[in-house]
């Protein structure tokens, strides 16, 4: 396991702030009568740093490439499986699977399929809680459409939430992407939506906890 590149600046800032708090409390509360309080504050500082550290962990994942499989683009919990209308690109009915990423999940996002990026767009927006009905249309988000070698188009959308204040992406129109490889990162969790053809076979249920880059969540016909 390694630390994700998006975490370096945040971890440095956390170390500086928490280190300063630790130093100042030791300096101004140097009397032995404050030893217990100092130890408690030191423990809190260490705990907070470890919390930030776990946000940016980058575990090794092993993806079994299969052109018919749709791989989970994120760790988390399946919160939506439904037939809906996708308005931005397809402008028609699709099967939607949504995975909610809590602050304790790995926040790296991975390509659910291999193929060519046919559409990419970043949308600035609000920071409603990820499960809000309007989060997928009003929040900060990115939309990506990948066309597989056999012409199937899969749309996936990074959605920021109340805590997530920065979406990162590493793809653009025309890129050739590989299933399971990293395409982006959402700091401090949120949600990823996947829109599939209506005849796709969904292989997960509400409440399941897929592993990004490994769990097969659907099968293309």
User: Which residues, including other chains, have CB under 8 Å from residue 135's CB and lie 6 or more apart?
Assistant: 128, 129, 159, 161, 191
Tokens (6 digits) for 162: 């109340």
Q: Is 1 exposed, middle or buried (0-12, 13-18, 19+ CB in 10 A)?
A: exposed
Is residue 190 part of the annotated active site? The answer reads yes
63: Cα separation from own chain's centroid: 17
Exposure of 128 in the CB half-sphere (CA atoms within 13 A):
12
Q: Which of 83, 153, 72, 146 is nearest to 106 (CA)?
A: 72
User: Which residues, including other chains, have CB under 8 Å from residue 34's CB and lie 6 or more apart?
Assistant: none
Look at phi and psi of residue 101 and say left if phi exceeds 0, alpha if psi is from -120 to 50, else beta: beta
Q: Which of 98, 114, 136, 190 is catalytic?
A: 190
Exposure of 165 in the CB half-sphere (CA atoms within 13 A):
2
**Which residues have a catalytic role annotated?**
190
């Amino acid at each position: 396991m390694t630390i994700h590149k998006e975490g370096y600046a945040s971890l440095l800032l956390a170390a500086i702030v928490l280190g300063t708090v630790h130093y100042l409390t030791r300096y101004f509360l140097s009397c032995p009568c404050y030893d217990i309080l100092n130890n408690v504050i030191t423990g809190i500082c260490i705990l907070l740093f470890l919390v930030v550290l776990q946000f940016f962990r980058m575990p090794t994942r092993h993806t079994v490439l299969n052109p018919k499989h749709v791989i989970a683009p994120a760790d988390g919990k399946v919160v939506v499986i439904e037939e809906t209308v996708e308005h931005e690109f397809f402008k028609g009915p699709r099967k939607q699977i949504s995975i909610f990423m809590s602050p304790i999940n790995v926040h790296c996002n991975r390509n659910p399929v291999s193929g060519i990026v046919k559409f990419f767009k970043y949308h600035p927006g609000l920071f409603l809680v990820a499960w809000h009905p309007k989060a997928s249309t009003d929040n900060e988000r990115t939309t990506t459409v990948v066309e597989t070698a056999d012409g199937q188009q899969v749309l996936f959308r990074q959605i920021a939430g109340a805590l997530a204040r920065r979406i990162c992406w590493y793809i653009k129109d025309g890129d050739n992407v590989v299933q399971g490889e990293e395409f982006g990162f959402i700091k401090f969790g949120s949600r990823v939506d996947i829109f599939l053809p209506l005849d796709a076979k969904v292989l997960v249920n509400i409440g399941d906890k897929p592993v990004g880059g490994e769990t097969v969540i659907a099968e293309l016909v």
